[in-house]
Amino acid sequence: MTDRIQIKNVYDWNSLLVKAENGDSNAQNEVASYYENGLIVDNAVIVEIDKQLAFDWTQKSYESGDIEGIESYANYLSDEKYKYCEKNVDLAMQLYERAMNAGSSSAAHNLGIEYRNKQNFGRAFELYSKANDELTIGLCYYYGIGIEKNKVKALEIFNVINKGCNTGYEINEANFMIGKIYLEGEVVERSIEKARYFLELADNDGDHRSAQEILIVIGRQKMIN
């Protein structure tokens, strides 16, 4: 994915619009993004949110053959919440595959989601693997969805996430699953202490309800003398 063009004033925005209108597909993507989210600089509104124009520019980018535009257009087609086009999952899947074949890992993940929705879990797992979606792959191994259940493999993956450069959400979810595995004691020696440690890591921001529910049962570290 290309770096987003930084708009600092109305002049920059108008220059970007000119590029987009002249057929620059990257500029079309940027224009769509700014219309989707809006832009305020130094308390001045540079771009007002306009969901219809966001869709229109996404469609232009898609029609120009831009890979990011193709994937973004597929997102519209696959989500029935959007009112600017009719839902068309079959076309969305074709476009995700096209973007995936051009190197988009997010398109591979999204295509996996669509196969999951069709209950084709084996194909979904293949696509999660192609997208290198570690958390989802680990969950598939843990629950045996699309692949033979293997909690040892799941634990290995969750530990990699815990020590890697993943998002905060992914790290919290991995720690939650590690805590569950230590609480279960199926593939590792059962340890309430280790379970508590990882569950508290998962709830480090105080917003992980599932971890909190288990910690209500086993107690938090700060409650133990």
pTM of this prediction exceeds 0.75: yes
- Which region among 1-15, 151-165, 166-180, 193-207 has the lowest average model confidence (pLDDT)? 1-15
Query: Is residue 171 predicted with pLDDT exceeding 90?
Result: yes
Q: Read off the pLDDT band of 3 (50, 70, 90).
A: low
**Which class is 65-132 in CATH?**
mainly alpha
pLDDT at position 83 is: 75
Show the 3-state SS of the chain.
CCCCCCCCCHHHHHHHHHHHHCCCHHHHHHHHHHHHHCEEECCEEEECCCHHHHHHHHHHHHHCCCHHHHHHHHHHHHCCCCCCCCCCHHHHHHHHHHHHHCCCHHHHHHHHHHHHHCCCHHHHHHHHHHCCCHHHHHHHHHHCCCCCCCHHHHHHHHHHHHHCCCCHHHHHHHHHHHHHHHHHCCCCCCCHHHHHHHHHHHCCCCCCHHHHHHHHHHCCHHHCC
φ and ψ at 43, to 5 degrees? 65, 10
pLDDT at position 99 is: 97
pLDDT at position 1 is: 45
User: Which of 183, 156, 181, 157 lies closest to 170 in space, CA to CA?
Assistant: 157
Q: Tell me the residue type at 191.
A: S
pLDDT at position 80 is: 67
Query: Is residue 224 predicted with pLDDT exceeding 50?
Result: no
In the chain, the N- to C-terminal Cα span, in Å, equals: 51
What's the pLDDT tens digit per position in 122-158?
999 999 999 999 999 999 999 999 999 999 999 999 9
What's the pLDDT tens digit per position in 49-90?
999 999 999 999 999 999 999 999 999 999 866 678 889 999
Distance, CA of 200 to chain centre: 24
Residues contacting residue 139 through CB under 8 Å, at least 6 positions apart: 145, 154, 177
Q: Give percent of the chain above pLDDT 70.
A: 95
